[in-house]
Chain A
Amino acid sequence: MDFSTLEAILRPDQILSGAAASRGYDCDAYTVDRSKPSVIVLPETTLEVAAVVRWCAASQVPFTSRGAGTGLSGGAMPALGGVVISTKRMNHILEIDLENRCMLAQTGIANRRLTDAVKADGFHFAPDPSSQSVSTLGGNIGENAGGPHTLKYGVTVQHILGVTMVDPLGEILTIGGKLGCGPGYDFLGLICGSEGTLGVVTEAWVKLTPLPKAVTTALVAFPTIRSATETVAGIIATGTIPAALEMMDRGIMNAVALAFKLTFPSEAQALLLVECDGDDADVVAKEMESVRTVCESNGCLEIRIASDEKERANLWMVRKKGIGAMGRIAPSIVTHDGVIPRSKLPEMLDFVYEVAEAHKIGVANIFHAGDGNLHPCFYFDDRDPLQVERVIEAGEIIIKKCIELGGSVSGEHGIGVEKMDLMPLMFSPADLEAQAMCKRIFNDGMLCNPCKVLPNQRGCAEHKMRWRGVAT
């Protein structure tokens, strides 16, 4: 394929190729599977994206869109090579309308920048994945990203009013808009969470949510994992829905203690980070009081409540820097993602530790307990193929258990290539065929982010071994 003809569409500085560039784009943050693109393009406008996609369609070259590459399931890995369409230069805010509480931005902008742009005016973009300082709006839409505050504020789809996207043939579509969607089929709901398989979303109208006037944050230490997990269900059962309800286990405590010199009660085995917020300080205080009562009735060891913004940031450090701190413990980490009904948390956590022990791998847990969204972090050495194999097997066993307990294969990381083969555990062939029908609305062919989400796609099986480096 002659990729030089792309130069008729883009400037030379918008086209990257060669071994070094390809290696930089052969995977996202899910590093187990890799595939090199032939070319990486850096469009700056929707029209340029459309022109590239039309070129790909005419040349029958596969293409994969990519934001910051922070995805954790391989959704931005160019499975069949071809062109990676990077949105990193599409990072502008195009319009802010505070009066109507919305903002139009290109999708290559980092999530955090959306909030930074309106924070002084008392607003924020509510979805806050842990990667928000780098992960892009487009990536958040593709994965329907959540974050610690999902429990109260919902996931990305609830904060998107409309999108401009380029479909797999290069046609520009506008779905919804500044005032949301009108009647008709809810394509916006379908696009959010479709992992870039239905087209390339280039611009989005997002909702701006007022910042809460009152916020109270507590870090609560528990003597056992079980007492912490039972507290989670207990808090929700009282009718209090905190803004965030996060859990960290001893493994994370050890890592952050080492990295940031933080201290915790020596007998603590689990921490809950609980945040209540709202416009009425009295109501927020009552909610935190209710949380305190449930924590105490479950035998908590200590409750630290932040008295100011600085202390609040310190309490959040355990949660926000937890995974990063794990880097001090082992050379490689794989963070898994599964969801269960939160009442099953005690049973599920016991199971996670059993599986890790049986597979002789280390595990630490840091997760969105309020949503029942687990993130077991296996730490290991990926230079040892046997360890890699055990990590993959343990991860699959855990996801199977999530499904067995009535949960889901993924809470927020998506299916990508990582979990395609687990989809039949959750869905029947008829369910999956209906999902394929959804995909066909936008995408009849196999060019737009191929071999993702749905298992057993034509032409993908032979590539799987190559992704994992088994075949050459």
Chain B
Amino acid sequence: MSFEHKQVIQFPDLAQNYLFPGSQTDLSQMISNHSRLRIGGFNPYRYSNSKAGANFAKAESGKLVRTEGPPTVQQCDGHVLLDKLNKVVMFSPADQVITVEAGILLNDLNKYLLDSGFEIPIGLNEKDQEECIGDLMAMNLPHWNLARGGTWRDWVVKMRIVLANGEIVTSGADVVKSVSGFDIHKLMIGARFTLGVISEVTLRIKPRSTPKDYPAIALNHGILFLTNREGLKELLEYSKCHTEDDDEFVKHAMVFYIEDESCLVLTESFQNHFNDAPFDSAKFGHVWRSHVGEFALPNFSESDQKLMRRTKAIFDPTNKLNPGEFGFF
């Protein structure tokens, strides 16, 4: 089964040559035949230089598009979008797994699973449910169900990846548990398509649970992070001071989920609305949470930088895939 192809125009300020592979072989050829490619769809979590103010505006479609600020990626010969790779390849409720192409929208996937009583417990908001799962995995977005549902890494058991040389490789197996060498698929999650392009995944699925209500909180700058209880208390205080008179701010409120007060996960971000000093989350030992904003290499520890550079050099030595991402220029 496949779903309707919903073509969207994204990143109007960047590459104009949109490429929509219809098969994994197409994707492989596209990657082989180009020297620099932007991969994947628009992601609103990349706020660019937030201190400079808003970088996004709403397009007619209702989606946010970049309007100013330095481009995250360099000019490319083409922009690959996975939208047409949207087939369900295999579904086995008794084995608790489903295999789908990476262009399927999370929303479509969860609708498909609804009748059989299963779900992917990645609790993204409504807007992000309309993104394809390949993009969502590449960004590894945090979500309100993180404490219980984990990240994509916890649900992907097998992946097909098109590497920078066009080679299609497989990692993992169609079973809920496997230790079979080095898990390339884990490395691809959150790698923003800089090491390879996710083309097909097998996901472990879980019985659908009853939705709960979660508290919400707003913050005035676009960061996501995990913090501890001390950080949480401070954060709550801080947010109270900044949420009263800005409708837009509340509208774009960050949502977080606290499981027994142990873990805070902010799951929606947006650009600055104020010129105030940002919340000093570093004070509370936070970690930047999952791929929000333009994290370039200098943001990482020295050893992380070294490993990242080495990884990029091994997997994409000519910097073909998403050049500029993570600061790989």
Nearest chain B residue, comparing its CB with the CB of A423: B181
- Is the CB–CB distance between A408 and B300 below 8 Å? no
Contact partner of A415 (CB less than 8 A), chosen from B117, B118, B181, is B181
Residue A371 at the B interface, CB < 8 A?
A: yes
What 1/0 mask marks residues of chain A from 90 to 130 whose CB sits below 8 Å from any chain B CB? 00000000011100000000000000000000000000000
Minimum CB–CB distance for A175 against chain B, Å: 8
In the complex, B134 has a CB within 8 A of chain A: no
Q: A99 and B190: CB pair below 8 A? A: no
Segment touching B, from A76-84, A234-242, A356-364, A378-386: A234-242
Choose from A100, A151, A239, A339 the contact partner of B262 (Cβ within 8 Å): A100
Please give, as numbers and ranges, the residues of chain A lying within 8 Å of B161 by CB-CB distance: 434
Query: Which residues of B sit under 8 angstroms from A179, Cβ to Cβ?
Result: 226-228, 285-287
A328-348 with Cβ < 8 A to chain B: 339-343
User: How many residues on A have C-beta within 8 angstroms of the other chain's C-beta atoms?
Assistant: 75
> Quick one: given A179-B228, A180-B287, are A186 and B190 in contact (CB under 8 Å)?
yes
- A178 B285 Cβ-Cβ under 8 A: yes
Minimal beta-carbon separation of A305 from chain B (angstroms): 22
Which one, A13-21, A217-225, A292-300, A437-445, is touching chain B?
A: A437-445
Q: How far is the CA of A189 from the CA of B301 in the complex (A)?
A: 18
CB-based A-B contact count at 8 angstroms: 205
Would A146 and B174 count as touching, CB distance under 8 A?
no
Q: Which residues of B contact A409 (CB under 8 A)?
A: 178, 180
A454 contacts partner chain B, Cβ-Cβ < 8 Å: yes
Q: How would residues 423 to 452 of chain A score, 1 for a CB under 8 Å from any chain B CB and 0 otherwise?
A: 100111011111101111110000000000
Residues of A within 8 A of B295 (CB): 182-184
Chain A residues contacting B34 (CB-CB under 8 Å) are none
Query: Nearest chain-A residue to B157 (Cβ)?
Result: A408
Question: Which of B13-21, B50-58, B309-317 faces chain A?
Answer: B309-317
Q: Which of B93, B168, B190, B292 contacts A184 (CB 8 A)?
A: B190
- Give 1 or 0 for each of A187-225: 1 = CB within 8 Å of chain B CB: 101100110000000000000001000000000000000
Partner of B287, one of A182, A372, A439: A182
* Cross-chain contact B229 with A440 (CB below 8 angstroms): no
Q: A180-B287, A423-B180 are in contact. Are A185 and B195 (CB under 8 A)?
A: yes
In the complex where A100-B262, A190-B186, A453-B182 touch, is A342 in contact with B326 (Cβ < 8 A)? no
- Encode contact with B along A278-306: 1 for CB under 8 Å, 0 otherwise: 00000000000000000000000000000
A431 touches B170 (CB 8 A): yes
Does B42 sit within 8 A of A, measured CB to CB? no
- Tell me if A12 counts as interface (CB < 8 A to partner B): no
Do A410 and B92 touch across chains, with their CB atoms under 8 A apart?
Answer: no
In angstroms, Cα B175 to Cα A150, docked, is 13
Please name all residues of chain B whose beta carbon is closer than 8 Å to the beta carbon of A239 when the two chains form the complex. 117-118, 207-208
How far is the CB of B222 from the nearest CB of chain A, in Å? 13
Could you mark each residue 146-190 of chain A with 1 if its beta carbon is under 8 Å from any beta carbon of chain B, else 0? 100011001101100000000000010111011111111111011
Can you identify 11 A-B contacts, CB atoms within 8 angstroms? A173-B303, A182-B289, A184-B190, A185-B308, A189-B186, A193-B182, A342-B96, A372-B176, A411-B175, A415-B179, A434-B169
